[in-house]
Amino acid sequence: MHQLNRNIAGIAGSVQWPERVLQFGEGNFLRAFVDWKFHQLNKQGLFNGSVVVVQPIAEGLVPLINEQEGLFTLLLRGLQDGKPVEQTEIISSISRGINPYKEWNEYLRCAENRDIEFIVSNTTEAGIAYESTDRPDMAPPVSFPAKLAIYLYHRYCHFQGDPGAGLVILPCELIDRNGDNLKAIVLRLAEEWQWPQAFSVWLKEHNYFLNTLVDRVVTGYPRDEAAALTERLGYEDKLLNAGELFHLWVIEGPSHLAKRLPFAEAGLNVVWTEDMAPYRTRKVRILNGGHTSSVPAAFLYGLDTVGEMMDHEVMGAFVRQAIYDEIVPSIKLDKALMTDFADSVVERFQNPYIKHYLLSILLNSSSKFKTRVLPSILEYQEQFGTLPDKLVFSLAALISVYKDGRIEGSGMQAKRSKGTFEMKDDLPALAFFAKAWSHYNHSLQSAREVAKTVLANTAMWSRDLNEVPGLTEKTAEYLHRIATDGMQTVAGQLVRR
């Protein structure tokens, strides 16, 4: 069977668009998100440009990308209005890939291309970070910000500081204020490397470092289905990629830039805004918080995947009630905006094509709970004068995950009704929870001591949560009931059916 190429895709001999986008990162997410979006623009004649991909680390997919002439097949699957939908498409927006570890000069030549207007990136959350060992004469330096700084300085010098050579930079890394953080590091490097002050002025005045928020679950190469999909497609695709139908890109930036990237005009779910904070709050509290608040209880109940949780009579009701009755009301933003997003979240959680394991979501749960669920608990109490039952129960369920845990190596061997499992978290956090449970003797008073100890951990919560009225007692009561009666009984009593 032949490997995917331009002949198979039916585009051999067609005009190849000029390279207008430089992309740091060639992984599954950017290909299923950004490159898919530019493909949609090109199909509608709204962009007429291609993406040149830069491999951010020494080993990566650039050889395969060039072998397949920039092409890959994207399989998008999910629910729309409650019905399963599947879309398969060959994406042709990538022109080529560059490995800067082998082709540094070719990488710098891209900076001399006037057609390039946009830079996108996804180099993992750790990618936007300052690296003190980077130097301007390294080819390449270690960090992504340093590679970008050298690219921008080369462009500045080549075009002699021309304001029109400035770029729009759209980082997609999952950190808050990603554009601001990236810009700050590039400016710091420019100062440390003693580049002309005029370059920093050009950088600030003629380049846009935009803060963004991205949202799409991308599961990557569908290994378990690859043989059947290859047979169905009629060709081999080593870059076959899969993800969900839902997608959202929130871009904080001046509205005039939206005309240069007409995603919304193409019918894509891209929002240009002057303030992305409400959208970030909505995603963290409803999508991420919906997961984090329900998964510990569902896992201890005996379920293994998000799909099982959503289909379950008790835990499915728990998820929905926690989101609609407690999380959404706690957010002091437009309720219609929140509810519409909550509807999409519930539908996404039910996606039958994505097998999302609860145990993997439990990874580093304590830190996730602090940012994703705790604000909803505190703001709910502030608004309504009472604690939200299901969210406090979710805190107790999280603490209960570590009960009977035993530290082994870098993880914890813990127990649930279905047997033992390995709980992975920050090792100090695991040790802390194990110690907190060590004096529990099945009494309500000892459950109070567990609750008091956990809630007093200011390093974990950034405050002593025992100071929140009623939280210690309510958490302790749920801890004791879960330990005494079992998760299935307590959860069953808590939800409306």
Tell me if 282 sits within 8 A of 334, measured CB to CB.
no
Give the pLDDT mean for 398-424: 89
The Cα–Cα gap between 390 and 363 comes to 21
Strands laid side by side in the 248-252 sheet? 211-215, 248-252, 270-273
Sign of the torsion formed by the C-alpha atoms of 437, 442, 446 and 447: positive
Structure-block tokens of residue 268: 């894509």
Structure-block tokens of residue 496: 């409306």
Q: According to DSSP H, which parts of 10-51 are helical?
A: 28-43
SS3 152: helix
Q: Is 396 left (phi over 0), alpha (psi -120 to 50) or beta?
A: alpha
Give the pLDDT mean for 259-272: 96
| Per CATH, domain 277-496 is 1.10.1040.10 | yes
Half-sphere exposure of 399 (CA within 13 A, CB side): 33
Give all strands (DSSP E) within 112-207, no chain letters: 118-121, 168-171
- What pLDDT does residue 455 have? 98
Sign of the torsion formed by the C-alpha atoms of 487, 493, 496 and 497: positive
The Cα–Cα gap between 209 and 410 comes to 39
Task: Please tell me the pTM assigned to this model.
Answer: 0.89
CATH of domain 19-244: 3.40.50.720
Quote the crossing angle between the two packed helices 471-485 and 389-401, to the nearest 10°: 60
In the chain, residues under CATH classification 1.10.1040.10 are 277-496
Strands laid side by side in the 83-91 sheet? 83-91, 72-80, 241-244
Structure-block tokens of residue 204: 């600030």
- What pLDDT does residue 16 have? 87
Q: Going by C-beta distance under 8 Å and a sequence separation of 6 or more, which residues neighbour residue 395?
A: 369, 373, 377, 475, 478
In the chain, residues under CATH classification 3.40.50.720 are 19-244
Question: Residue 135, exposed/middle/buried by CB under 10 A (0-12, 13-18, 19+)?
Answer: middle
What confidence tens digit (pLDDT) does each residue in 203-250 have?
999 999 999 999 999 999 999 899 999 999 999 999 999 999 999 999
Prior bond to 140 cis, omega within 30?
yes
What confidence tens digit (pLDDT) does each residue in 361-410 have?
888 888 899 999 999 999 999 999 999 999 999 999 999 999 998 998 77
SS3 256: helix
Reference 213, options 241, 179, 242; nearest CA is 179
Half-sphere exposure of 189 (CA within 13 A, CB side): 30
What confidence tens digit (pLDDT) does each residue in 32-80 have?
999 999 999 999 999 999 999 999 999 999 999 999 999 999 999 999 8
Residue 481 pLDDT grade (very low, low, confident, very high; cuts 50, 70, 90): very high
The Cα–Cα gap between 481 and 483 comes to 5
Residue 126 pLDDT > 90: no
Phi (first) and psi of residue 6, to 5 degrees? -65, -30
Question: Which element (helix H / strand E) includes 172?
Answer: none
- Residue recorded with tokens 């995947």: 305
Structure-block tokens of residue 347: 């539908």
Tell me if 437 sits within 8 A of 405, measured CB to CB.
yes
Query: Considering just the CA atoms, what is the radius of gyration of the chain in Å?
Result: 25
Reference 123, options 104, 141, 110, 109; nearest CA is 141
- What pLDDT does residue 75 have? 97
Give the pLDDT mean for 314-340: 96
The DSSP secondary structure of 73-94, one letter per residue, reads EEEEEEEETTEEEEEEEEE--E
Tell me if 199 sits within 8 A of 190, measured CB to CB.
yes
Q: Which residues pair with 84 in a beta bridge?
A: 79
Residue 355 pLDDT grade (very low, low, confident, very high; cuts 50, 70, 90): confident
The Cα–Cα gap between 405 and 432 comes to 11
The Cα–Cα gap between 382 and 467 comes to 14
The Cα–Cα gap between 39 and 94 comes to 9
- What pLDDT does residue 462 have? 94
Residue 425 pLDDT grade (very low, low, confident, very high; cuts 50, 70, 90): confident
Tell me if 1 sits within 8 A of 236, measured CB to CB.
yes
